[in-house]
């Protein structure tokens, strides 16, 4: 079970050192349920990430979306967990409108990730928003 985004934000606020925050992101990634190898397809792959990243959106019975994802890199897998926590459980329109940049600033990711990781994170967010937009249109 993934943590709520509010709990993740609170935990980030408690950690002063960026080494501790990186360890926390890795811990979040370890808590992420494994994705079946059969789902790690080109259709689920996030383009624009240096690491291998896959994201799947599924509609919930209550009109919200549930995201699942995985990565082959520890920190990136943790970033996948953060974004799943932020975006899952929202209606598709809220996912499309979600201000990920504000979240990145709030927890400090905007200034502590390499440019390549930041670009990959943005690509993952755009992929999640595109999946939500497709479900809104359907």
| Residue-level length of the chain | 138
Q: Could you give phi then psi for residue 90, rounded to 5 degrees? A: -110, 150
Question: So where are the chain's domains?
Answer: 5-137
Closest CA to 31 of 82, 106, 107: 82
18 is catalytic: no
Instruction: Per residue of the chain (138 residues), give pLDDT as tens.
Output: 568 999 999 999 999 899 999 999 999 999 999 999 999 999 999 998 788 999 999 998 899 999 999 999 999 999 999 999 999 999 999 999 999 999 999 998 878 888 888 888 999 999 999 999 998 776
The verdict on pTM exceeding 0.75 is yes
Classify domain 5-137 at the CATH topology level: Sufe protein. Chain: A (3.90.1010)
Contact 21, 12 (CB under 8 A): yes
* Catalytic residue chosen out of the listed positions 32, 46, 49, 84: 49
CA distance linking residue 3 with residue 33, whole number of Å: 12
């Amino acid at each position: 079970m993934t943590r709520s985004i509010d709990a993740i934000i609170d935990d980030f606020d408690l950690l002063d050192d960026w080494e501790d925050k990186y360890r926390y992101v890795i811990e979040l990634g370890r808590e992420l349920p494994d994705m079946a190898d059969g789902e790690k397809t080109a259709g689920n792959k996030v383009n624009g990430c240096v690491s291998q990243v896959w994201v799947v959106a599924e509609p919930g019975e209550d009109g919200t979306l549930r995201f699942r994802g995985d990565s082959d890199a520890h920190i990136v897998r943790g970033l996948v967990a953060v974004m799943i926590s932020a975006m899952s459980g929202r209606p598709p329109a809220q996912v499309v409108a979600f201000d990920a940049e504000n979240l990145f600033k709030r927890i400090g990711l905007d200034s502590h990730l390499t440019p390549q990781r930041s670009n990959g994170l943005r690509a993952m967010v755009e992929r999640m928003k595109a999946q939500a937009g497709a479900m809104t249109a359907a």
